[in-house]
Chains A and B, each alone.
Chain A
Amino acid sequence: MANGVVEGIAIDRSFWEERSRYRGILSWILSTDHKRIGILYLSSMIVFFLVAVGIGVLMRLEMISPGETIVSAQTYNQLFTLHGMIMIFLFIIPGIPAVFGNFFLPLQIGAKDVAFPRLNLLSWWLYMLGACLALLSLFVGNGPADTGWTFYAPYSIRTGTNVTIAVIAGFILGFSSILTGLNFLTTIHRLRAPGMKWFRMPLFVWSLYATGWIQILATPILGITLALIVVERVLGVGIFDPAKGGDPVLYQHLFWIYSHPAVYIMVLPAMGVISEIIPTFVRRTIFGYKMIAFSSMAIAFVGYLVWGHHMYTSGISDTSRMAFSFLTFLVAIPSAVKVFNWLATMYKGSIDFQPPFLYGISFMFLFTIGGLTGLILGALATDIHVHDTYFVVAHFHYTMFGGAGFIFFAALHYWGPKMFGRMYNKKLSYYAWGLLFVGFNTLYMSMFILGYKGMPRRYYYYLPEFHNLQVSATVGSWILVAGILLMFGNLIYGFWKGEKASQNPWGGTTLEWQVATPPPLENFHKIPVVETEPYDHRHKFREVK
């Protein structure tokens, strides 16, 4: 065989250079290699993310003064709908699982690919189809939907804007998400390397397992809810429309039965990534491995019990408001279990403040603020006061952007060198982090205060007393965007032209660091046999730099 194996490391071509029966772009968009599909997701996702960031900046710019600044009220409604739809359905829900899960799940469990590679490619195609439909809704008919990303009935049934196309796009994106979850669950059940017992799996894999179950068991509810909106609009069936006897609150029930578990689709994989990053940079095994693994499953489960806390003011019964409020507090338990275990892992560790670690622990800081303000919103009495204000917007962005978003960046810094084989400029990524962190807090902390003072979300006009804080939020958005652009610029340049990255630049102990950088097409020439816990730092690994 021409392809030699040195110390278990395959030295043949990386997956970047691998030739298949197709050439050029076709060798990418028709590839069933999980790594290429991960890169496909990453590149398309960054484009959508930047578009949605652009829309967000426009919204903030509009709010810099009361009344019309740059766009009309109707356009503003469409902008916040688009911002939410793109960020949620095209970036943060598929985000970490589709990019890093696809790329690293098989590597971390010692498999050559996922269980159903062709289905995996289909997921990406469905994702792109959904994205194209969402794009189409901008240019045909009466312009993009103006309902907010939640498509609440009955307005979504009556509005003349392109709700039908947007909702079909959501349905297709849901299908894509389901197929990814299905693939991961089967992969984890069937393709673990010999010796990789359930409790030897890296915690990122555990978090993907919990996420996969949510994707399977929650997404179909969104599918049927969105399908019903289409059926009501197109065929005139009466389900949610009060003019036909329907109960619009039931739409909210069904919508949140999916969309609350969906926030755990967004944040659980992020918790998995940080459980990888922390042991690597403190050179210690993770504290409370089993508890972190179980808490992922517990969050997935409890996530099904709390959707009603989105509906305290929708007219649901008092009994259920109290029940949902009580159940909501349960989420804090497994979340806190994780945070304390991460802290205990760092205790007395030799912490190495590399960029991935910095981005990673800012998650802990920001997510804790998001989580604690979540308790204010989960408590029935206080929620009535801040309901549907900027407070909710700020809370959501602290958990989703400060949580999942920052971890997406952390994962890019952590695993990017492995994916692309090149290292970015570390100094610049510290500067970018500084801008991100300052901008983020300026923007959303202003929103917390605004919301607390009573500024309602999605409003186009506001009272003069909110002006100063609106300005500071807008200035924060500029700093934030500067940070995002610097970070992506640095990463893209680094991954394209930077110096070559070593096989294990951070001294990680999981299996993905034992293959070449970037990994070869078939990942492992010989499937490894796993004999240790995932974060065993006692054996010093090859080239730690």
Chain B
Amino acid sequence: MEKEQTVHENVHIGTYVMVWLALLMLTGLTVTVAGLNLQSFAIVVAIFIAGLKSTLVLNYFMHIKYESPIFRNMVLVVIVTIAIIIGLTFVDISFR
């Protein structure tokens, strides 16, 4: 148990800075892509990039990558729940 409590102290400061740089680059990318005229595809790309960015934040800044698997599984449960709620509502909206 001691191990899991202290585990993130080993995360290198450099890792955090690299993640931050990656986040800034992705922000630049999403702004650039929005400038292109991708029509309805634009929103998909924007959500995809936002998903990438939040995966980085979750894994590194929020330490999910370094935590015991229970945390990752819980996050997955939540994401699936939100997906189900949105999906089932769209079964109504898109067939109305």
Contact = CB atoms under 8 A, between A and B. Distances in A.
B88 A320 contact: yes
B78 A217 contact: yes
Interface string A314-343: 011111100110000000000000000000
Contacts of B81: 217, 304
15 contacts: A189-B70, A217-B77, A217-B78, A221-B85, A249-B92, A305-B84, A305-B88, A316-B96, A317-B92, A317-B95, A318-B95, A319-B91, A320-B88, A320-B92, A320-B95
A201 interface: no
Contacts of B92: 249, 253, 308, 316-317, 319-320
Most buried by B among A221, A304, A319, A320: A320
Contacts of A317: 91-96
Interface residues of A, number: 19
A208 interface: no
B78 A320 contact: no
Given A213-B77, A253-B89, A318-B95, 9 more contacts: A217-B78, A217-B81, A257-B85, A304-B84, A304-B85, A316-B96, A317-B93, A323-B88, A324-B88
Interface of A: 189, 213, 217, 221, 249, 253, 257, 304-305, 307-308, 315-320, 323-324
Contacts of B88: 305, 307-308, 320, 323-324
Contacts of A257: 85, 89
A65 B55 CA distance: 63
Contacts of A217: 77-78, 81
A106 B69 CA distance: 25
B82 to A, nearest CB: 9
Nearest to A321: B92
B91 A320 contact: yes
A217 B85 CA distance: 11
A320 B96 CA distance: 9
A307 B88 CA distance: 9
Contacts of B95: 317-320
Nearest to A185: B74
Closest 8 CB pairs of A and B: A317-B95, A320-B92, A319-B95, A320-B91, A317-B96, A316-B92, A317-B92, A217-B81
For chain B, give the interface size range: 10 to 19
A31 B78 CA distance: 33
- Tell me the interface secondary structure of chain A in the complex: helix
A318 B96 CA distance: 7
A189 B4 CA distance: 15
Contacts of A319: 91-92, 95
B79 to A, nearest CB: 11
Interface string B60-96: 0000000000100000011001001100110111111
Contacts of B96: 315-317
B9 to A, nearest CB: 21
A213 B81 CA distance: 11
Contacts of A253: 89, 92
Nearest to A306: B88
Contacts of B70: 189
Contacts of A320: 88, 91-92, 95
Nearest to A315: B96
Contacts of A318: 95
A249 B70 CA distance: 37
B30 to A, nearest CB: 26
Contacts of B78: 217
Contacts of A213: 77
Nearest to A190: B1
Interface centre among B78, B81, B94 (most CB of A within 10 A): B81
Contacts of B94: 317
Contacts of A249: 92
A154 B89 CA distance: 20
Contacts of B77: 213, 217
A307 B77 CA distance: 19
Nearest to B94: A317
A524 to B, nearest CB: 20
Contacts of A323: 88, 91
Contacts of B85: 221, 257, 304
Nearest to B81: A217
A191 to B, nearest CB: 13
B96 to A, nearest CB: 4
Contacts of A189: 70
A305 B85 CA distance: 8
